[in-house]
Amino acid sequence: MGQYIGAAIKRLEDPALITGRAKYTDDLQLPNMAYAAILRSPYAHARIKRIDTSKAAAMEGVIAVFTGEDIAQSGVPGVVPVGWLLPDLKTPPHPLLARDKVRHVGDGVAVVVAEDRYTAYDALEAIEVEYEPLPAVVNPADAVKEGQPLVHEDAPNNIAFDWSIGDKEATDEAFAKASHVVSLDLVNNRLIPNAMEPRATLADYNPVTGELTLWMTSQNPHIHRLLMSLASLGLPEHKIRVIAPAVGGGFGSKIHHYPDEAITAWCAMQVGRPVKWQATRMETYLTDAHGRDHVTHAEMALDENGRILGLRVQTYANLGAYLSTFAPAVPTYLYGTLLSGEYDIPAIYCRVIGVFTHTTPVDAYRGAGRPEATFVVERLMDLAARKLGLDPTEIRRRNFVPPDKFPFQTQVALQYDSGNYEAALQKALEIIDYKNLRQEQERLRQEGRYIGIGFSTYIEACGLAPSAVVGSLGAQAGQWESALVRIHPTGKVTVYSGSSAHGQGHVTTFAQIVADKLGVSLEDIEIIQSDTDQVQYGWGTYGSRSAAVGGSALAVALDRIVEKGRKIAAHLLEAAEEDVVFEDGKYYVKGAPDQAKTLQEVALQAYLAHNLPKGLEPALEAVAFYDPPNFTFPFGTHVAVVEVIPETGEIKILRYVAVDDVGNVINPLIVDGQVHGGIAQGIGQALFESAVYDENGNLVTGSMLDYAVPKAHFLPSFEVDRTVTPCPHNPLGVKGAGETGSIASPAAIVNAIVDALAPFGVEHIDMPVTPEKIWRAIHGNGRS
């Protein structure tokens, strides 16, 4: 590698962003543009008896008002599909606008198109809807019981799927012979993604050409185009162009295909004008797919030495009112498969019941299944350590998969590619000066101060792959990635990548790969993504896949283009191809570097095609469609040190140390930034964030006034470090880096709090661990 890969290059994206010049979807204006606003159900469950749009339609400035009936009559497919199937999965239809029934607060009922956004919202208030309210159910463990209201008639007991993984018999046997069993009942709290940019779309339909252009807040424009075409609009795929301009964060919430963007597009086709829609923040709370929401019972069996014998987990996973795009995969293949953690566990069985409720649909949110799995395993490890009187680091050590056992086949389908778990733990212990910290903890306890140290030694599986395997598990999508590299006659380079960044800095990271591999400077490289008309195909950015899969595709394409250039250079140098080396942007015959042909010269010749080797096609470009052989498996150790004030339950995070191993690092600035952001979201889950529904299905925490997105002063500066165990199976040796923080940190924080409260006999507190919960745990619920 050269000077760029591994260097802390400041981002090429930033000049536009720090000056306000970057254009996000809502920043775009088209001539004659109208605005859409969507009327949303105030009821979690109700029959729609009548909708009268006449008053709204008659308002000045209102162009049109449509209902689900109008969409149905237009003859378009008109639904939002699910993109991951499980055996016996119930897949009730999800129409763009509700027709007979609404199934969660926020379900779309009608849409207004108006000259401006203020008028559009005024008109919503003039639409008359007569609802017959019906009883609702919001808790997944309750929803499966007999006699509960049904979300969909064709899903008895509200069960969408009943899925299991692992060996039940072997696991039961392990428990039968165990010396120790620890168990835990927990709720993994429901989260709202809260990307700072609310979802938006601008739709422009040209009735003459039949072409629809959609600028939208998308993490994966090609997936959105595919689903728009097949399921929602019925327009031919090649007539739809989806562009994701600057996108203000996603964290999963902009993967999914929602009704709202399709409704906006459909409206543009009806009114013959460009139509823009942007969710208000309160709409994002009601409609962005939420994350997590598990009710879990988990047990761990151990021998007398603290070696894990078995793990048994049962989870009710709340799916919300409809199946969101990848919802079935999240609590199954992204959860059950991660339950071995960093440990050699001989028997695991996990059953997950996916449940419909009258709540906002649930889907992938940063980490997606893996934080939930990590939380189960890492909390049980601490409970087991306490029960056996072992230090929490010691019990982990005794169960780590040792470095010489890789590749390691778990009992839950995954094969870990590489790892050195002990090394990351050791490094973290050195950073926090563990021995002294434990002594300090003891000393402070004598003074009546309570600090706690919490560990999370986590594993992550990301960059889902290969496509054939993912497909066999139910994905209705491939998981390869594309890259096209074009070297222009002047030697400048354009890359077209199927990844679609929305804050991750791919332009910089990918340019670094190109600069090193081709020996060109960063200014001479353009990275294009997020436009279905420019990029041949791509599956987008989520699941920490873009460096490992998108970056690998790029590396392969770059190798191909270097090889083609070598043929031309060899011809020009009148040398055998195998004698020509490529270094720092120059081809030369081994031992004769002063007789070099620059890449630029070779490129020019490639285009002029006056003097090419026989049979070689002109031009200089290469494409790669890279389908990885396996996931990548980042891992590491996170340590939280907290202080708890017993009289109020106030919590202070004293230190947060993260030692991650994401394989080779292309840009440490960017990787550290990803880790920081993930930790903050994980701390948010652990301490602050929770989407709470009342029994009628109203979202009680329905705005930023009630739902606490962490603020700067809630968080410490983070101490991040790394070990480097390269991924053995991709050309860059990289693993995913985007989700480690949100996967590892909830368990680290809760373990630290429970450790701090050990003198009070506290064994577990559900997230978010608010001051009141701590106060109650210390003082007992009776006291008031």
Partner 1 sequence: MYPPRFDYYRAASVQEAVQLLQAHPEAKVLAGGHSLLPMMKLRLAAPPVLVDIGRIEELRGIQDLGDRLRIGALTTHWELERSDILARKCPLIPEAAAQIGDRQVRHRGTIGGNLVHADPGSDLPAVILALDGTLHLAGPNGTRQVAARDFFLDLMTTAVQPGEILTAVEVPVLGERTGTAYLKFEHPASGYAVCGAAAIVTLNADGTVAQARLCFNGITSTPFNAQNVTDALVGHTPDDATIEGVVDQHLHVGDPMGDVFASGAYRVELAKVFAKRALKQARDRAQA
Partner 2 sequence: MGVPIRVEVNGRVYEHTVEPRLLLVHYLRDVLGLTGTKVGCDTSQCGACTVLMNGLAVKSCTVLAVQADGAQITTIEGLAKDGELHPLQQAFWENHGLQCGYCTPGMILAAYDLLQENPNPTEEEVRHGLEGNLCRCTGYHNIVKAVLDAAQRMREG
Binding site for partner 1 (CB under 8 A): 117-118, 121-122, 125, 280, 282, 647-648, 650, 688, 690, 692, 700-701, 704-709, 711, 714, 770-772, 775-776, 783-784
Cβ burial 295-332 (10 Å sphere, 16+ → b, else e): bbebbbbbeeebbbbbbbbebbbbbbbbbbbbbbbbbb
Residue 102 engages partner 2 in binding (rule: CB under 8 A): no
Ramachandran quadrant class, 474 (left: phi over 0; alpha: psi -120 to 50; beta: rest): left
The verdict on 759 binding partner 2 (CB under 8 A) reads no
Q: What is the token pair recorded at 769?
A: 């661990």
Strand 275-278 versus strand 348-356 pairing type? unpaired
Span 561-590, contacts to partner 2 by CB under 8 A: none
* Three-state DSSP class for residue 736: coil
Cβ proximity to partner 1, 581 vs 645, nearer residue: 645
Spatial distance between the Cα atoms of 157 and 684, rounded to a whole number of angstroms: 33
What residue 431 binds from partner 2, partner 1, none (CB within 5 to 8 A, per partner kind)? none
Sheet of 650-661, strand order:
450-459, 635-645, 650-661, 719-722
Determine the Cα angle at 325 with ends 628 and 350, to 5°: 70
**31 interacts with partner 2 by CB under 8 A:** no
Question: CA end-to-end span of the chain, whole Å?
Answer: 64
Minimum distance of partner 1 from residue 683's CB (angstroms):
12
**Angle between helical axes of 506-518 and 552-573 (0-180°, round to 10):** 30
* Binder of residue 784, out of partner 2, partner 1, none (CB less than 5 to 8 A by kind): partner 1
Q: Which is nearer to partner 2, 21 or 47 (CB)?
A: 21
Measure the CA angle with vertex 773, ends 767 and 777; round to 5°.
115
Closest by CA to 628, choosing from 770, 732, 491, is 732
351 or 676, CB closer to partner 2?
Answer: 676
Short-list 101, 2, 112, CA closest to 48 = 101
- Is residue 678 within the footprint of partner 2 (CB under 8 A)? yes
With both helix axes pointing from N to C terminus, report the angle between 552-573 and 599-608 in degrees, rounded to the nearest 10. 80
Residue with smaller CB distance to partner 1, 566 or 773: 773
Angle at which helices 421-432 and 392-399 cross, to 10°:
160
Q: Residue holding tokens 């639409």?
A: 127
Report the nearest approach of partner 2 to the CB of residue 196 (Å).
4
- In this chain, which of 1, 572, 669, 724 binds partner 2, going by CB under 8 A? 669
Q: For residue 287, what are its two tokens?
A: 């409609």
- Judged on CB neighbours under 10 Å (0-12, 13-18, 19+), 629 is exposed
- Select 452 or 738, whichever has its Cβ closest to partner 2: 738
State the Cα–Cα distance between residues 751 and 683, nearest whole angstrom.
Answer: 12
Please report how close the Cβ of residue 212 comes to partner 1 at its closest, in angstroms: 27
Min separation Cβ 117 and partner 2, Å: 8
Applying CB under 8 A, does 198 fall inside the site for partner 2?
A: yes
Does 29 participate in binding partner 2 (rule CB under 8 A)? yes
Shortest distance, position 198 Cβ to partner 1, whole Å: 11
Residue 619 DSSP class: S
Judged by beta carbon distances under 5 to 8 A according to partner kind, the member of partner 1, partner 2, none in contact with residue 669 is partner 2
Separation of alpha carbons 206 and 221, rounded Å: 20
- The answer to whether residues 239 and 212 touch, using CB atoms and an 8 Å cutoff, is yes
**638 counts as binding partner 2 under rule CB under 8 A:** no
Measured from the CB of residue 23, what is the shortest distance to partner 2 in angstroms?
7
Taking CB under 8 A as the rule, does residue 13 contact partner 2?
yes
Give 692: exposed, middle or buried? Use CB within 10 Å, 0-12, 13-18, 19+.
Answer: middle
In the complex, least distance from residue 454 CB atom to partner 2, rounded to whole angstroms: 18
What is the rounded distance in angstroms from the CA atom of residue 409 to the CA atom of residue 76? 47
**How far does CA 709 lie from the centroid of its chain?**
17
User: Could you say whether residue 86 binds partner 2 (CB under 8 A)?
Assistant: no
Applying CB under 8 A, the site for partner 2 has a residue count of 60
Binder of partner 2 out of 7, 22, 170, 230 (CB under 8 A): 22
Structural tokens at position 468: 């054939």
d(CA 376, CA 352) in angstroms, rounded, equals 13
Only segment of 143-151, 206-214, 256-264, 706-714 that touches partner 2 (CB under 8 A): 706-714
Report the site for partner 2 in 277-296 (rule: CB under 8 A): 278, 280-282
Q: Which stretch binds partner 2 (CB under 8 A): 235-243, 395-403, 439-447, 676-684?
A: 676-684
Instruction: Choose between 195 and 557: whose C-beta lies nearer to partner 2.
Output: 195
From partner 2, partner 1, none, which one binds at residue 701 (CB under 5 to 8 Å depending on kind)?
partner 1
Residue 677 contacts partner 2 per CB under 8 A: yes
CB of 38 to partner 1, least distance (A): 13
Could you tell me how far CA 288 lies from the centroid of its own chain? 13
Residue 303 Cβ, how far from partner 2 at the closest point, in Å?
Answer: 40
Q: What is the C-alpha separation between 576 and 639, in angstroms, rounded?
A: 56
Least CB distance to partner 2 at residue 234 (A): 33
**Window 221-260: contact mask with partner 2 (x via CB under 8 A):** -------------------------xxxx-x---------
Nearest Cα residue to 565 out of 484, 465, 487:
487
Closer of 301 and 679 to partner 1 (Cβ):
679
Q: Are 381 and 306 in contact (CB under 8 A)?
A: no
Geometric angle at alpha carbon 482, from 479 and 484, rounded to 5°: 180
Q: What residues pair up with 165 in beta bridges, in sequence order? A: 350
The two structure tokens encoding residue 80: 């939002």
Should residue 11 be labelled a site residue for partner 2 when binding is judged by CB under 8 A? yes
Judged by beta carbon, residue 21 or residue 177, the one nearer partner 2 is 21
Which does residue 672 touch among partner 1, partner 2, none (CB within 5 to 8 A, set by kind)? partner 2
Task: Report in angstroms how near the CB of residue 503 gets to partner 2 at its nearest.
Answer: 3
Least Å distance between CB 9 and partner 2? 10
**Amino acid, res. 194:** N
Residue choice 336, 519, 741, 768 for contact with partner 2 (CB under 8 A): 741
608 binds, among partner 1, partner 2, none (CB under 5 to 8 A by kind): none
Smallest distance, partner 2 to C-beta of residue 20, A: 2
User: Binding residues for partner 2, per CB under 8 A?
Assistant: 10-11, 13-24, 26-27, 29, 116-118, 194-198, 246-249, 251, 278, 280-282, 502-505, 669-670, 672-673, 676-681, 703-705, 709-713, 715, 717-718, 741
